[in-house]
């Protein structure tokens, strides 16, 4: 079977020279916990990595879509959407994407004197399902914060900031209950549509259909659609599409992602279809929107 380590469509990854990282280790705010390498791989078919020299870093892999596997301590484990693993330093490992349903993963390698504190005792995958308390998008925003600052890591101040952000990011996985115990109003105080919208936002990168949405909230599709439209005046699927385009606008304005990467990230398998939907909602194409919004 074909095997590829890197070089995928829509891939993003950043690393810094080892010499620079070693120099940074003289700074306590970096030395205690810091990023070695970080990336995002969308739907990476044939993805495969193997390390047999006992890596000197720990590695987080967070799967948000599709399936994959990893092998550690002589055992092979499966990993699916909404699961993560943290591979400890000093181990041999291998991992790869499922051949039929390749994964989408956020990942980073990290080191530091405190890095072992963020490695679970067990090597099995942990599930984080989208629900009313999951805060999935908060975690993704924090990943992007780290990625952005680490990309400017040749400037020491940015590297220090990335290292400080790494604490809450890793803690959001390792101390999952504490992370999700976010004080908000009781769910009973929220109207039905607000719960649905929150669930849509947490799953903005997935292709959810009406049956899936209704099934999660334990309604028939027709009754679910009626309840949602009664409160919002719009069908749930059209609302979900509008949320996706709203998120696309955010990516276009605030990142350097290519349009096809944005489309892929938001669950549009065909960039041309994404462009048509975007144009229908916004009244202009994604490329024109980017030019208009980035003009000084």
d(CA 48, CA 105): 13
| CB contact at 8 A, 66 and 43 | yes
Closest CA to 108 of 149, 78, 76: 149
Task: Give the domain CATH number at 271.
Answer: 1.10.10.60
Please indicate, yes or no, whether residues 169 and 192 belong to a single structural domain of this protein. Answer: no
- The pLDDT tens digits for 70-79 are 999 888 999 9
Please give the radius of gyration of the chain, using alpha carbons only, rounded to the nearest integer.
20
Instruction: Check residue 202 and give its pLDDT.
Output: 87
Please indicate, yes or no, whether residues 147 and 194 belong to a single structural domain of this protein. Answer: no
pTM for the full predicted model? 0.71
What band does 190 get if pLDDT is binned at 50, 70 and 90? low
- Give mean pLDDT, residues 109-131: 90
Please indicate, yes or no, whether residues 222 and 160 belong to a single structural domain of this protein. Answer: no
Please indicate, yes or no, whether residues 32 and 85 belong to a single structural domain of this protein. Answer: yes
- The pLDDT tens digits for 90-107 are 999 999 999 899 999 999
Please state the domain count of the chain.
2
Please indicate, yes or no, whether residues 25 and 113 belong to a single structural domain of this protein. Answer: yes
Please indicate, yes or no, whether residues 248 and 193 belong to a single structural domain of this protein. Answer: yes
Please indicate, yes or no, whether residues 200 and 175 belong to a single structural domain of this protein. Answer: no
**Ranges 157-166, 179-188, 209-218, 257-266: which has the least confidence:** 179-188
- Boundary (domain end) residue, out of 118, 149, 179: 179
Please indicate, yes or no, whether residues 229 and 136 belong to a single structural domain of this protein. Answer: no
Instruction: Check residue 7 and give its pLDDT.
Output: 56
- Boundary (domain end) residue, out of 122, 151, 179: 179
Give every CB contact of residue 151 below 8 A, 6+ residues apart in sequence.
14
Domain assignment of residue 1, yes or no: no
d(CA 268, CA 12): 18
- Boundary (domain end) residue, out of 148, 179, 210: 179
Task: Give the domain CATH number at 79.
Answer: 2.60.120.280
- Give mean pLDDT, residues 110-118: 94
CB atoms within 10 A of CB 40: 23
Instruction: Check residue 186 and give its pLDDT.
Output: 45
Query: If you write DSSP's letter for every residue of 267-285 in order, what string do you get?
Result: T-S-HHHHHHHHHHHHSS-
- The pLDDT tens digits for 195-250 are 899 899 889 988 899 999 999 999 999 999 999 999 888 999 999 999 999 999 98
Please indicate, yes or no, whether residues 164 and 23 belong to a single structural domain of this protein. Answer: yes
Please indicate, yes or no, whether residues 22 and 155 belong to a single structural domain of this protein. Answer: yes
d(CA 66, CA 100): 9
Domain assignment of residue 3, yes or no: no
What band does 183 get if pLDDT is binned at 50, 70 and 90? low
| CB contact at 8 A, 46 and 101 | no
| CB contact at 8 A, 224 and 210 | yes
Domain assignment of residue 281, yes or no: yes
Reading across the β-sheet that carries 48-51, which strands appear in turn? 48-51, 93-97, 67-72, 75-80
Domain assignment of residue 5, yes or no: no
Domain assignment of residue 85, yes or no: yes
Please indicate, yes or no, whether residues 148 and 52 belong to a single structural domain of this protein. Answer: yes
Look up residue 115 and give its DSSP letter: G
Instruction: Check residue 6 and give its pLDDT.
Output: 54
Please indicate, yes or no, whether residues 70 and 150 belong to a single structural domain of this protein. Answer: yes
Across the chain, what does the average pLDDT equal?
A: 88
Instruction: Check residue 272 and give its pLDDT.
Output: 92
Q: What share of the chain has pLDDT > 90, as a percent?
A: 60
Residue span of the structural domain in which 117 resides: 12-179
Instruction: Check residue 294 and give its pLDDT.
Output: 65
Domain assignment of residue 81, yes or no: yes
């Amino acid at each position: 079977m074909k095997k590829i380590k890197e070089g995928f469509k829509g891939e993003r990854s950043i690393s810094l020279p080892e010499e620079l990282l070693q120099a940074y280790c003289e700074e306590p705010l970096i030395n205690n916990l810091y990023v070695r390498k970080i990336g995002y791989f969308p739907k990476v078919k044939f993805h495969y990595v193997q390390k047999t020299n006992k890596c000197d870093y720990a590695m987080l892999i967070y799967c948000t879509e599709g399936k994959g596997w990893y092998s550690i301590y002589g055992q092979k484990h499966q990993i699916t959407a909404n699961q993560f693993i943290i591979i400890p330093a000093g181990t041999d490992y291998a991992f790869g994407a499922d051949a039929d349903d390749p994964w989408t993963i956020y990942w980073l390698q990290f080191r530091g004197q405190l890095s072992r504190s963020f490695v679970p005792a067990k090597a099995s995958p942990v599930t984080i399902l989208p629900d009313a308390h999951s805060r999935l998008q908060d975690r993704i925003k924090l990943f992007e914060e780290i990625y952005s600052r680490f990309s400017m890591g040749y400037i020491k101040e940015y590297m220090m900031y990335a290292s400080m952000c790494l604490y809450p990011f890793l803690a959001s996985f390792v101390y999952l209950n504490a992370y999700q115990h976010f004080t908000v109003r009781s769910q009973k105080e929220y109207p039905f549509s607000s719960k649905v919208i929150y669930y849509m936002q947490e799953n903005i990168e997935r292709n959810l259909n009406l049956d899936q949405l209704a099934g999660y909230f334990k309604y028939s599709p027709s009754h679910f659609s009626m309840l949602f439209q009664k409160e919002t005046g719009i069908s749930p699927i059209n609302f979900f599409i509008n949320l996706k385009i709203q998120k696309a606008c955010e990516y276009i304005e605030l990142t350097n992602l290519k349009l096809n990467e944005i489309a892929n990230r938001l669950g549009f398998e065909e960039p041309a279809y994404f462009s048509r939907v975007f144009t229908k909602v916004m009244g202009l194409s994604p490329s024109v929107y980017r030019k208009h919004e980035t003009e000084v």
